[in-house]
Amino acid sequence: MAKKKKPRSLRCPTCRVLVTAETENFPFCSDRCRLIDLGKWASGGYVISTTINDPDQLDSIAEEQEKSANGKGSAIDG
């Protein structure tokens, strides 16, 4: 049986900084980022309305959320 190595570094899910396994808040870079990520789930950032039953709509909602999550700092809106 082959032993699978644990990852020694991962990207912080909140700010994408490289975090090593020695970090206290691994895989988050800091306690703050950990709380931010938890807060996203708690405050409704990932909540999908139960009134939507159309899978296609769910897809586009997920896309919109990804865009708004990645699009900070590069607003080129006319």
**7 upstream amide cis, omega within 30 of 0:** no
Task: Name which position in 1, 2, 5, 12 contacts Zn ion (CB under 5 A).
Answer: 12
* 34 near Zn ion, judged by CB under 5 A: no
Q: How far is the CB of 26 from Zn ion (least distance, A)?
A: 11
Which range in 6-14, 48-56, 58-66, 70-78 contacts Zn ion by CB under 5 A?
Answer: 6-14
Distance between CA 63 and CA 68 in Å, rounded?
Answer: 9
Scanning the structure block, which residue is given the tokens 């999550």?
69
* 27 near Zn ion, judged by CB under 5 A: no
* 33 near Zn ion, judged by CB under 5 A: yes
Q: How far is the CB of 28 from Zn ion (least distance, A)?
A: 6
Residue whose C-alpha is closest to residue 70's, from 15, 32, 29: 15
- What 8-state DSSP symbol labels residue 4? P
- What 8-state DSSP symbol labels residue 22? T
* 29 near Zn ion, judged by CB under 5 A: yes
